[in-house]
Structure 1
Amino acid sequence: MAIRNPRLPLLPGYGSNPLIGKKSFGVRPVFTSIDKVNMLVDKTEGENRVPSLYCRKQAPDLPTWIMYDKHILRFQAFFQQTLHEMRSASSVLRKVNIFFFLEDGTIKVMEPRTENSGLSQGTMIARQRIRLPSSYDLYYDVLDLNIGREVTFFGKVFKIVNCDNFTRVFLNRLGINVPDPIPWPDALERAPSKGGPPKHRPFRQFLDFDRQVLRFYGYWDDRDSEFGVMHYLEIHYFLADDTIEIKEKMPPNSGTEAGPMFLKRMRIPRKIPSHVEMTGGPKVASYTPADLSIGAVLNVYGRKVVLTDCDPYTKEYYRTTYGFDAFTPLSIPDEGKECKSVSVNDRELPPWNGYGSYDDSAENCRTVEPKPPHRDFIKFLHKDRVGFDSHVLRFAARLISDEPADSRRYFIIKYFLCDDTIGVFELGERNSGFKGGKFFRRDKMYLPDVNFFVPKEPPAYTDKDMWVGNELVINKHCFRLVAADEYALRYMELHAEQYPMANITLIMDKIRRVLASQDNGYKNFVAKYMEAVLPHKKELMTVRCFKQALKEIMCEKMTEHEFLTLIRYFRGDPGKEKSPRREMIRSLVFSDLTRGLWDDRERLREGLIHADETGTGTLSVDRLRQLLRAHRLPINPDLLDCMLSVLNKDDNCNVQYEDLMNFLDFKTRPVYNLTESDYEKVVRHAPPLKDTECKLWSEAETMIQDGYVNWNAFLCQLNLEHLVKDQS
C-alpha cells in the first residue's frame, strides 16, 4: 500500500510505494511451543493470540483455531421478504438458520429446503465475517447474537427466535443470559374472519397430496358383446388433482396387442354428461376417494369397472382417513371356455413319435423356432455338486438273468439328484468276454410296462426307488441293487424324512407293531436269541444272527435296505475287521500304481519330511492329500480317500506319514494277508483303466454280512419291556 500525504495531490511522484521490488508477500513462518509441542503458527508470540471471549492474559495457551475447532453456535431466525407481484399478500415469512463459527468468528446463513416452495433455498449467505451495519472495521461477535435480537446482514433484518442446546449452554457459561424461545409469527393465534366463506386455495391440494396415488385392481367383463373378453385393469387415483388413469394388464401369449393405457389420466364423471352439460353450465361431479372401495362399480363412460383389491398404501390411507378395516378382496368371475387363455405349458401336445426325448419334442411342438428344453434350474442349484458333496447316489447292481454269464456281471447304477437322470456302468472282469465301461448313457429311465407314445410324459424312476434290494427294469434289463456306497447311505440317513428305507424311527415302529401284535412275541424273541451274544461281550451279536432273528419275526415285511440301516445304526464291532479292509484297499492301490508305472517313494518321503515343519511325524489329511496329488500318484480320488481313512492317526486325527510309506512299500512288504477268495474279489476283479468310479463294492457287500451289532442298544431302542410284565 502506498504511503502519501493527504494534503498532496494523488499524482505520480508525490508518494512512495514500499512494495516496489518485493518478491515474497507470504507470512513468515514462526515455530512456537504450545503445550510442549512444536507447531507452525502464523503470528509471533507477542502479537494478538488471545481470544475475544476471555479477558487479556486469562485465555488458555491454545490458539482459537484449535480451542474452538468444529464448535458452532446455531440460531433459528426469520425475515420477511416483500412481494411486489402478488396482491393477496404483501410479504412472505422465510425461516433461516444462522451458524456462528467460534474458531474464526465467521457467520453462515442457510434456509432449509421445503418441497414445492417455489423459492430458491439453501445457502443464503456463504461463510464469512460480516461487518456491523454502523461500523466499517467492526464485525459481528458472540455478544451480538442472542434470542430476541435483530441482526442486519447485508441489508436484511433477521429476527432470532431460538437456538440449540449447545449454544444455550455455551452462552450461559460465558455469563450471557439466554431468553426463552420466541414462537414463530405464523404460529400465533389469529382471530377468525367474521364474514364470508373461506378462500379457495387451488394449489393447496396439490402441495399436500402431490405424488400420492391410490391403486386399485379390477376388471371389466365384456363377454356379452361379440368377440368380447375379460379385461384385467389397474386403476390409479391421483389425490393431487382427483384424476384417474386406467391401465390394462394383458395375460402372456394372449394374442392381443394393447396400448399402454386403457384410459388416459383425466377426471371421470359419475354419470355421462348430456350435450348441454358438455357445451356449458356447471361442472359435472367426478369420482372422489369416498366413491372408491373394494366391490365398488365405476361407470367409465358406459363401461362397468368392478374394483376387486387394492395395494397396502391404499388400505392404510382408507384406514386412517375413513376408518375402514375390512379389505377382503373379491374373486374374479370364472371365464368361459371360449375366452379362456390357454397357457403354453398346459396346451395338449400330440403323442410322442419316438424321436428324441420327451422334453425336446415338447419344446419343438410349443414353438416354431426349435429351442433346447428348459431344465429345473432351482433344483439344479440346490442339488448340483458342491465341493465333495456330489449329490450322486451310487449303487452296486447285479443283472437278473437266466444266463450264468450275465448273472455274474457287476454294474454301478448312479442316480443324479440334480436332474433325476440315471447312468449305468459295468465293472469289467478279466477274461469274461465283457469289455465293461458305459452300459446305458445318462438319461431319464421310465417305469416298465407303460405306454410311451402318449401326449404326456410317462412316470420315470425317482430317488425314492433307489434302495438296496429293489429291482429296476431299465431298457428291458432287470437289475437288482445289492449295495450302496457310503455317500448314498449317509445322504439317505441325513434326509430320512424323504427316504423311508433309511428312517430308523419308521423301521423301529414297524418292528414294535409286529412284536406287539403277536402273543408272547417280544418275550420269545428275546429269550431265543439271548444265548446268541458273544461270551466275552454280552452286548454284541453277529450280523448274521441279528439278520436271521429279524427275518423270523418280520418275514417279508422288511427290505434289505432297512436291514442295512439297522446294522449301521446299531453297529458295535470291536474293530477286528479293519485289517482285511486295509489289505483290500492296499491291493487296489498297488494295482493302480502298477498300471501307472509309479515308483518314486524316495522323492515322496522328501516331500513329506519337508512339509512336516514341526517334526512331529504327522500331517493333516488335507495337507497329505495335497502332497499326494502334487507327486502325481495315479490313484482314483475315491480310492485315495479310502486309503487315507485306514492309515494310522494321532489324537488330533493327523495321519502318520511313516505308516503311509509302509503302506506304499510293496517291494519289502507285499500283500500277503488276503485269502484266495478275497484275492479273487479284489486283485483279479480290479476295475479297468477307464473306470474312475470304483467305490469298493465288494467291501460293502462284505461289511453287510460280517461284523457285530449292539444287541442291548437294539432292545433298549425297542422299549417293549412293559409287554413282558403284562404278559407274565
Structure 2
Amino acid sequence: MELGLEPETCNMLTKSSPIDVQPRPSNSKTAFHRSQTLNYRNGYAVVRRPTMGIGGDRLHYNQLSQAELDELANKAPILTYGPLKQAPPAEFVPAHVAFDKKVLKFSAYFQEDVPISMEEHYRIRQVNIYYYLEDDSMSIIEPVVENSGIPQGKLIKRQRFTKNDVGDHYHWKDLNRGINLTVYGKTFRIVDCDRFTQDFLESQGIELNPSEKIPLDPYTQLRKEPVRKYVTPSDFDQLKQFLTFDKQVLRFYAIWDDTDSLFGECRHYIIHYYLMDDTVEIREVHERNNGRDPFPLLMNRQRMPKVLVENARNFPKCVLEISDQEVLEWYTAKDFIVGKPLTILGRTFFIYDCDPFTRQFYKDKFGMPDLPPVDVTKKEPPPVKQELPPYNGYGLIEDSAQNCFALIPKAPRKDVVKMLMNDNKVLRYLAALESPVPEDKDRRFVVSYFLATDMISIFEPPVRNSGIIGGKFLGRTKVVKSFSPVDNPIYYSPSDFFIGAVIEVFGHRFVILDTDEYVLKYMESNASQYSPEALASIQNRIQKQDLPAPELESKQATGEPMVQGTEEPKVQDLDALIDQIHMHLKDNPCKENLRETFQIYDKDESGYVDRETFFKICETLNVPVDDSLIKELIRLCTHGEGRINYYNFVRAFSN
C-alpha cells in the first residue's frame, strides 16, 4: 500500500541539520547520569525534551521549530484507498486548572442612609467586587480607610450569590459596567473594571458599557473644606524663651476650700508654673494617714486657657486638646499673685504663699517687693452648746434626754452615794384625799417618800364595806410639782411634806394628816431643810402627844385645832384597824412566834410588857413599827405607865 504525502510535508521531512560527528567516548568518563525530563511551570508538572544524553553527551535531534513540529503532528497522510483519517481531539483541561487564579475585578459603590446625624443624610461607600472564574464564586471587599470610624474590610465573604428567588446564581456573563447588582437586599452600582476583566469579557463577545465615576461623599467633601482661619505667626521667639528660662519654675502654695459642699474639706496644693513654656502643673500635698490615694498629680503639666472664644463653649475638652484658635487668652505669670484666688478648670484655688525664688522673680520682673504670706489656718469654732429638745411630757425627763446623747440610750446615772446613805430610809405620811365627792372624804392614804431615789408611792389601806377597792394607788415614781415648767421640772422633796401640806399628784390633791416617828426624828435632825411652817406643824404634833387626856378632851370639846391648818384625824376602832393591817400585810409572812416571844418576857402573865421590851422584840422579829397603821395600833394598845397590851397587837399579825 502506497502512502500519498503532500509536497509541503515532504519538504519539511527533508529539512534536517547535518549530522555532527562526535569522537568516541574514552575510558576516562565518570558521569553516567540521565538528563531531567520533567519540569514545573506555574505550579504544574510538564514534560521537557532533554538536550543532553547519558554522561552529558549532546543528543542528535531534529532542528525543526516548535510551530513546525506542531503542524507536522497535526498532518495525517491520506490513504490511497479510502477517506482520510480524522485528527485526534484536543486534550481536555478542567476548569480549576484552566481558570486557576484568574479573577475578575469590578469597582462599585453603594449608598448608605445616616438617620441619626445632623451633618450628613447619606454616605457613599466604595467597594471592590471579585469574581473567581474557577468556581464562579464572588466576594465584596471594602477598602479600609484609616480613622474612618466605620467597620470596613470584607463585607461579604467568598460564595456564590443568588440573583433571584428561583435559586439561580450570578455568572460572569451577568456582570458589566453601568449596572446594579443586588446582593442580600443591598444594591451595588458597578462603575468600572480592571484591564484583565475588560480583555476577558471582550474575548468572550460581551460588549462592555462605558465606565462611570463614583459620586463624591458629601460629608467627606465637607471635612476637606477649610474651616479654620489661619493666623499669622507672631514675632515672639519661643526658642529664646526656652533658652532663657530653662529649669526656672515658680512655686506657689494654694488651698482649695470646699467646706461649703456636702462632705467638703480644705485641701492643700502646690502649683508649679514653668517659665520656659508657660505651662502649669498642680500637685496635691499628702499627709500621713489622711485616707487618700497617693496620686502625685491633680493636673498634668499643660497650658491653661483663661478666656475662651464664644464658639468654644461646647468644645469637647475631655476628648480633644484646646488649640490656639479656641483660646483668646492664656494664663501667664502675672496672673499668679499671692493673696488672690485663681480659677483653674472650674476649681478656685487661693494662693497664700510662694518660695523665695518666686518672690525674687516677681520683684525683678513686675516690681512687687512685698508678697506677704496669708495665714489660712482656721481656728477651731467654739463648741456649740447642745440644747435638749422640748420635753413632751411622757416619762421622766432624764430618761427622755438619754435619747439625745447616744444612739442606744443608757439608763441615767444615779447618785450612788445618796442611795447608799439613804438605803431603806422611807418617810411615811398619813394623807386624806381632797375631793368634792362625799365618798372620798373618809378615804385615807399612806404616802411613802423614798430618800434614796426621791420617789413617791401611795397606798390606800382597804376598808371593809366601804365600796372602794384599796391597795396600790401610785407606784414608785418621781412626782413633778404642778407649777414647775415642763422643760425644767421640779420634783417634790422631803421639805414639801409636813402636816397640813397639800400635795398634788397627777391631778389628785392630798392633805398630809399625820406622820410616823421616823419622820419626826428626820425633821429634827435636818431642821435646816424645812420651812418654819413645817417645823411648827411638827411641834403641834408633839404637843398633842404630850397633852393629858382630860386636857385633850377639853380641847376637842371646844373645837380648838391641835395642828395649825389641819383638822383632828378621825380615830378608828381597834377591830377596824386590825382588819386594815391584815390587808396591808397580806403579802408579808405572819409572825407565828410573836406571841411566844412576848410570853417569855411577860413573867407575871399579865398580857402587858413595857415599851422598851416591846420595841426590842419588834426589832428582833423585823416587825414594821415605822408603818403609820402599826404606830396607830401601838397607840391604841398602850395604857398608862407606858405598858403595851401585846394580845391585841399580836392579833394583827396572826391568821
Structure-2-length-normalised TM-score: 0.31
Query: Greater CA radius of gyration, 1 or 2?
Result: 2
The higher-RCO structure (CA 8 Å, 6+ apart) is: 1
